[in-house]
Chains A and B, each alone.
Chain A
């Protein structure tokens, strides 16, 4: 256990009756959508239908679902290249995401972005950024806009533990703190930056939370595999941000069931670690939670079946969709038209 920080963190079963059945079913549904869609993406790699690189959040679904359900329409999501989960958590259709991964014309960006750059402005997904750290200041900028115009939305910025050692993390936290920006920074600490344990390259035990005091923020470490815990913490942070009381930095302890990317079998992990964390699989944890609160197996199975059917249909639609039309190659370089007239 000691070599795998976070495992010991636990939610608080028994005192969860403030959330209610409707929200719990949403939290469960969201986690299952993410799990099924990502598992499908992985299967499609094996069939050679998804060819590009891809970074899965299998095992980390509770964080995306907890924040996604707590967010209101108009709130903004900023994700990393590991952004499928956060995109789906805002309601982006699975077909749009899989279509993008499969480089089809029905993809979210019609094949211009791919797995690492999912964006859907109409759902508040303000992009997935594949350069570590870049989107933390960007999220601050979106939050500055809310403050500037008196809007009440919150910008939520998700990133991994590896991000906490780059300058942009610290630059952004300082900005958010000095200007009390309505931004919530969410560190998904899955214990590994890419292949190296984050603890081997970081001066403190909790790479995000232990730095919070440097920016006058409280130290928050939570069980990131329990969607109830995540949902509650998100609500607290959003209420603080909407009240004009500034940013939050939340470190969510979790674990990646797969490797860093498609190409990584994750052999560097100590024996037994994955198995221990699989005991804390967020979906397993949440099924038990639903049972504890008297939600019927039938309701759970109904969600599972509906989601499976939806992902199957999305997969077939993507397989049938054409490749992106080549006439879009030169569009969207500049907002005021194509590229060719310029030269």
Chain B
């Protein structure tokens, strides 16, 4: 039986990749360990080795093909004694097989395309063309657009220039803006965060990328003591217009030190503004607003969302206001509040609940500080019930803050205590099954909604 070679998953979050180059040709003998092809992901170009001996019987996906889904059959290897006529049946079987989009152990959230309920921004004219793009591309476009219009803006961080970003968010920026404005730093989070603060205090507008926010803990002193407080300490003399951005929260299979949600940490600090978008449109519009903002902004992205696609208004200058939540889906039975990755659980749960006659209004906070209390409270006054979905830990979390504000402003409207769905109270485990148990799930959200609806 010919052996099918499948498009490999080169990282736990990879969903598709480009088949850059075949290094073996049809008819070539192949030994286990031989390099078969080069696969390009959004993070890197990697060589792909054979694991079986035989002859490369047929190439099913030609080199140069983009966006090949993980697990798609890309070639067939024949064992001794087999011929190309054996391939047909095999290829046919492959074509019939339901092409799984993602490797079987990826987290639930990453397995399906996001359910999109993008409410139009008030400033998007009716009939505006929507372009489908990934969150990654939207972030890059936001930086590029702002950098074109203001020469004081520069990007700095580890691997942001030559390597184009560890997660390829800064793709193409070095080529367009040059090495003076797209700056590779040594591995020194405290150092380059402080450098960014100094440049901002002296009048530039830095965008500082943390490869992940886990590493920003090294820079906590610069972010909080230097960036957030200097304006106040100096009696208003020295402002700090800077954006600290990068992926936040759980990725997949990277364990405790690389999987943490810092939403509540940063949103505790007066002087900081904390933004954490879900959709590509919000990522773009809010990052543009953040770069223009005269205050230090923490911009929390999400690795799993980077590769997900959403419609983005095709406008010359699309911005989203800081501090405004969005009603992502209207409803009247219960209010679901979330942000960033949590929105994917909330929106899918809303779909599930609709089937059971529960109409959930889903609010995307988008900005955590300042928090748009009004939008949340108005919704709760209408529904009388609320569940907050937070990917981070529960104690002292953002969900606790939302619940407290609802209690303060809409206590008499509540028909049930506010529910919280959060990460379990443990460091993130590595194994997929344990990791899955740790994170909020759609089922958790559905159950929490039913609890507050007494159903």
Interface string of B181-202 (1 = CB under 8 A from A): 0000110101111111111111
Contacts of A155 in B (CB 8 A): 198
CA distance A342 to B238 in the complex (A): 21
Contacts of B185 in A (CB 8 A): 175
Contacts of B369 in A (CB 8 A): 342
CB distance B271 to A334 under 8 Å? yes
CA distance A143 to B198 in the complex (A): 8
CA distance A16 to B293 in the complex (A): 51
Contacts of A167 in B (CB 8 A): 188, 190-191
A336-B270 contact given A138-B197, A142-B199, CB 8 Å threshold: no
Contacts of B109 in A (CB 8 A): none
Contacts of A240 in B (CB 8 A): none
Task: Report if B222 contacts A (CB, 8 A).
Answer: yes
CA distance A332 to B238 in the complex (A): 9
- Listed stretches B10-18, B162-170, B224-232, B256-264; interface member: B224-232
Interface string of A109-121 (1 = CB under 8 A from B): 1101100010111
CB distance A335 to B231 under 8 Å? yes
CB distance A333 to B270 under 8 Å? yes
CB of B229 to closest CB in A, whole Å = 9
Contacts of B237 in A (CB 8 A): 109, 119-121
CA distance A174 to B235 in the complex (A): 32
A109-B188 contact given A127-B201, A144-B199, A335-B294, CB 8 Å threshold: no
Interface string of B222-252 (1 = CB under 8 A from A): 1001100011111111110100000000000
CB distance B370 to A137 under 8 Å? no
CA distance A138 to B373 in the complex (A): 35
Q: Which residue of the partner chain B has the closest CB to A341? A: B370
Total interface residues on B, CB under 8 Å, equals 47
- Listed stretches A128-136, A200-208, A224-232, A268-276; interface member: A128-136
Partner of A141, one of B197, B232, B373: B197
Of the listed residues A127, A133, A137, the one surrounded by the most CB atoms of chain B closer than 10 A to its CB is A137
CB of B270 to closest CB in A, whole Å = 5
Task: Report if A43 contacts B (CB, 8 A).
Answer: no
Task: Report if A62 contacts B (CB, 8 A).
Answer: no
Partner of B231, one of A138, A139, A334: A334
CB of A46 to closest CB in B, whole Å = 27
CA distance A109 to B293 in the complex (A): 23
CB distance B191 to A131 under 8 Å? no
CB distance A137 to B198 under 8 Å? yes
The contact size tier of chain A is 35 or more
Contacts of B100 in A (CB 8 A): none
CB distance A168 to B234 under 8 Å? no
Contacts of A108 in B (CB 8 A): 235
Contacts of B321 in A (CB 8 A): none
CB of A184 to closest CB in B, whole Å = 14
Q: Which residue of the partner chain B has the closest CB to A116? A: B233
Task: Report if A70 contacts B (CB, 8 A).
Answer: no
Contacts of A336 in B (CB 8 A): 293-295
Known: A117-B234, A333-B271, A336-B293. 20 other contacts (CB 8 A): A109-B233, A119-B235, A119-B238, A127-B230, A137-B190, A138-B194, A138-B195, A138-B222, A139-B198, A140-B194, A141-B202, A143-B198, A145-B198, A145-B203, A146-B202, A148-B154, A148-B199, A332-B236, A342-B369, A343-B370
Give the B-binding residues of A (Cβ under 8 A): 76, 78, 108-110, 112-113, 117, 119-121, 126-127, 129, 131, 133-146, 148, 155, 167-168, 171-172, 174-175, 178, 331-336, 339, 341-343
A sample of 21 cross-chain residue pairs with beta-carbon separation below 8 angstroms, ordered by A number, consists of: A112-B235, A126-B201, A126-B238, A127-B201, A131-B221, A133-B190, A134-B194, A134-B221, A137-B191, A140-B191, A141-B199, A144-B195, A167-B190, A168-B190, A168-B194, A175-B191, A175-B195, A334-B231, A342-B369, A343-B371, A343-B373
